Amino acid sequence: MRQGSIDVVDLAKLEEQPQDRPRYEVRPRDVLLVEGHANPHQIGRCAIVPPEHAGLLYQNHLFRLRFNGAVPEFAQMWLNSQYIRKYWLSRCATSSGLYTINSRLLADVPFPMLSIQEQEGVVGINAAVGQQIAALGRVLDKVRIAESALAAVALRQVGAAGPRLDSVATVAAGVTLGSEPVGDGTVELPYLRVANVLDGRIDTTDVKTVRIVKTQYERYALRKGDLLLTEGGDLDKLGRGAVWDGRIDECLHQNHVFRVRCGEQMLPDFLALYTASPEGRAYFQRVGKQTTNLASINSTQVKQMPVPVPPVEEQRRLLGPVHAARERAAVLKQQIAKLRTIQQGVVEDLLSGRTRANRT
């Protein structure tokens, strides 16, 4: 069960009792709702049964809902809304690490006092916004493909890699976690770890802090324009990284994230373009050390990486079309995010103060 969709890739099978089929069989437009989950935020998620899934049976950890006075698509929207998420979180029971809801609690769920016509109107608005999001998503996919192609064209124009990376940049490892210092000479600061450094972007939604001696700040500090590369992970993800944009003041990096600070001969964005290219990835995979569950590279291997170093003005020229594609992608992502916020809020905005207890 997903929120708004049903995945039938991995179906369980059982020996059928014909007399039980009417009781447990699903029909098109039934709504299935999750009764229990280890994560309380996952209970109550629901989806409509599409025609192609008719005739399947549902297990005891799901509720099957059939609506007489409500539009199933509207009911799905409402039951998946933030309003009902909060309702479950404040009322669900827990036992042995499992959070559950029962049929009585489900029957008492508040339901909007809207006519069928009004429900269909809300569904229509939601569908229209969804179509806009899907259309923008298709454009974004094309822009990303174009960006990748433009990057490949740019790198083909500079030819083979030349000098070692440490001739045009400095490479440093970050702060090692463990026993942290205490006292007046220390400071607690945010730091970026491997989970924050993704392929082509930095994710700061969950940033941890670490305490260091104040005199070590410059050793581990990040500056805007530093290229961050990951030390370990799956072999095909070695050296993934992105350029730091300085969005957090006084931010550090962990020892499993390399900080590459470019000199005057290399633009950080151009270096990032090369390290993310098939040639750059091939280098990391070739020198990386593979263990049973993990691959890794060390700072010496990063320093020894051969890199192309065309004149800085040539680097800027080659980056121009790539930056234009990235800016277009950023605008599209902002538009999609705005529409998703509108889509999420449409139910709450339209239904504010229009709910009542209803026998589902």
Q: What is the pLDDT of residues 166-221, one digit of tens each?
A: 999 999 999 998 878 878 889 999 999 999 999 999 999 999 999 999 999 999 99
Average pLDDT over residues 8-22: 80
Q: What is the pLDDT of residues 298-315, one digit of tens each?
A: 999 999 999 999 999 999
pLDDT at 158 over 60: yes
Structure token pair of residue 18 = 């014909």
- Going by pLDDT thresholds of 50, 70 and 90, the confidence category of residue 336 is very high
What domains are defined for the chain? 1-111 (3.90.220), 115-158+312-353 (1.10.287), 164-309 (3.90.220.20)
Of 34-38, 99-103, 159-163, 222-226, the one with minimum mean pLDDT is 159-163
Q: What is the pLDDT of residues 232-260, one digit of tens each?
A: 877 778 889 999 999 999 999 999 999 99
pLDDT at 351 over 90: no
Q: What type of residue is 108?
A: D
Average pLDDT over residues 144-156: 93
Q: What is the pLDDT of residues 272-302, one digit of tens each?
A: 999 999 999 999 999 988 877 788 899 999 9
Q: Report pTM.
A: 0.74
Higher confidence at residue 345 or residue 117? Answer: 117
The pLDDT value recorded for residue 13 is 82
Chain centre distance of CA 252: 23
**Dist CA 235 CA 295 (whole Å):** 5
CB-CB neighbours of 238 under 10 Å: 24
> Strands 252-253 and 186-192: what pairing?
parallel
